[in-house]
Structure 1
Amino acid sequence: MNATTTDRDRAVLRAVAAGRCAYVAGTLLVDGLACCDQFLGPRLVRAGLIVGQGGGPARLTPAGRAVLDATPIAA
């Protein structure tokens, strides 16, 4: 999966890991604002990288954590 994730995907996964995201009515919120890429949240959910339930915080799945663990952070 890491080969098909974009820099934006990984940035959002890092925000999810930091507890900065919620998934509300099919919309990914980052720091309380709708993500500018309306397709990103649903794509990450379909890929099995994040989960969001009932308007609560988005959480990484084990697959999402594996993507982050396999990705070196650029300086």
Structure 2
Amino acid sequence: MTASMEAELTFRARAMLRAVAAGRGELSGGSEPDLYVDGLSCSDQVAAHELAHAGLLRPAQPASLSERVRAELTEAGAAALDTAR
């Protein structure tokens, strides 16, 4: 993740990272993982995909296309969240 990406985190992206940090997020399997918060599909899947591709969040364990697993922040995601506070 670049410094410009850290500076560009929107309020919504930070909220998504906070939800994952609090243990409320799940990701679907696949190369474009969808984010679920509190069991509900996140309304901004484009942002969820960007966060995953930027290496800020990841599935806690491997998942097939048809399953959801707990999401977790990466070290970069935790650092970005701390920087944004």
Q: Could you state the TM-score of these two structures normalised by the residue count of structure 2? A: 0.78
Q: What is the Cα-based RMSD across aligned positions, in Å?
A: 1.1
Count of equivalent residues? 72
Q: Give SS of 1:66's match.
A: helix
Post-superposition Cα deviations, 1:3-50, rounded to whole Å, max 9, x if no partner, equal 121111101000000000000142110000000012122111100000
Q: Give the superposition deviation at 1:2.
A: 1.6
**Paired position in structure 1 for 2:72:** 59
1:1-75 residue pairs with structure 2 within 5 A? 1-25=5-29, 26-52=33-59, 53-54=62-63, 55-72=68-85
Q: Distance in 2 between matches of 1:71 and 1:18?
A: 16
Q: What residue ranges of structure 1 are gaps of 5+ in the alignment?
A: none
**Where in structure 2 are there 5+ consecutive unaligned residues?**
none
TM-score for the superposition, normalised by structure 1: 0.87
Identical positions, percent: 47
Distance (Å, rounded) in 1 between the aligned partners of 2:70 and 2:38: 11
Greater mean deviation of Cα atoms: 15-24 or 45-54 = 45-54
